[in-house]
Structure 1
Amino acid sequence: MSDIKIFHNPRCKKSRETLKLVEENVSKDHIEIVKYLETPPSEAELKSILSMLGISPNELVRKGEKAWKEEFKGKDLSDEELIKVMVKNPKLIERPIVIAHGKAVLGRPPENVLVLL
C-alpha cells in the first residue's frame, strides 16, 4: 500500500510540479498516482477526500472550466449534486489532490504538500 496518493493530471503544470515535489521527498514505491481523468473517484471517495480537505464541494470545483460555465454556472446545486457532477465530469475537480496519513491538501501551490511529507 502506498503512503501517498496523488490525484494527478499529467497535462496540468501545477499537478506535474506537485508530483515532482512528492517524488523528491518520498520513495516512488510509496506513491500511488491516480490519473483521475481516466479513473475518477467514486462519490464515496470524493466525499472522503472533501472531508480530509475540510472544504465544501463548491470549493473543489474548477469554475473556470468550459464545461462548468456552459452547463452548471448559475445553477443552485446541492453538495450531493455537486459531488455527482464532479464524479461524472472529473475535469471539474480541482487538482492536484495529495492524500497522506488520513489528511489531504490541494497542490495549489505545490508547496502545500510539504505539510504532509
Structure 2
Amino acid sequence: MSISFLSLDPAHAVVYHNSRCSKSRAALAYLADNAPGREVEVIAYLDTPPTKDQLRELIDAMGIPVIAAVRTKEKEFKELGLSKESSDSELLDAMVSHPRLIGRPIVVTEKGVRIARPTEAIEEIL
C-alpha cells in the first residue's frame, strides 16, 4: 500500500505519531496553529508500523538517506548490531520490526514529507 502523498487533498495531512514523544505532540500542535482547518490523520506508528515499501517511499520523498531516518541512539539500534554502514535494506527491515527506530514525527502533505525536527520543518510542506 502506498502513502500516495502526491494525491493527498491540500486540506489533509498525515502524521506518523508517537504520543510519548514531545516533538510528535509539538508537530500536531504546530499543524493546529499553522494550518487551521487542515484534516490531520494520525497514525500511531508504534501500533501500526509502515511496511518496508511505505518507509522507502516516505524516505525517498524526503530525499534523505535511509540512515538519516533512523533513531541511531535507541538501544535497539545497537542491540541489533546495526551501524551507520548497515545497508538500506537492513535498516528498513529493522525499522519495520522495531518501529521505535523510525525518526519521528513524520509529516506528510500534498507538498511532500518531512521529519519534523525541528518542528518548523513542517512549514516547508504546508
For normalisation by structure 1, the TM-score amounts to 0.90
| Cα pair distance change 1:106/1:66, threshold 3 Å | same
The sequence identity of aligned pairs, in percent, is 35
Gaps of 5+ in 2: 1-7
What is the Cα deviation at residue 77 of structure 1? 2.3
Query: For residues 13-41 of structure 1, what are the alpha-carbon distances to aligned partners after superposition, in whole Å with 9 as ceiling and x for unaligned?
Result: 1111111101222325x111001001100
SS at match of 2:117: coil
> Which of 28, 36, 42 is matched with 2:51 structurally?
42
The CA RMSD over aligned residues, in Å, is 1.7
Q: Letter of the aligned partner of 1:83 in structure 2? A: L
Partner of 1:108: 117
Gaps of 5+ in 1: none
Do structure 1's residue 99 and structure 2's residue 108 form an aligned pair?
Answer: yes
For normalisation by structure 2, the TM-score amounts to 0.84
Query: For residues 68-102 of structure 1, what are the alpha-carbon distances to aligned partners after superposition, in whole Å with 9 as ceiling and x for unaligned?
Result: 12222448421111111101110000100001115
Alignment: residue pair count: 116
1:8–1:97 contact (8 Å) kept in structure 2: yes
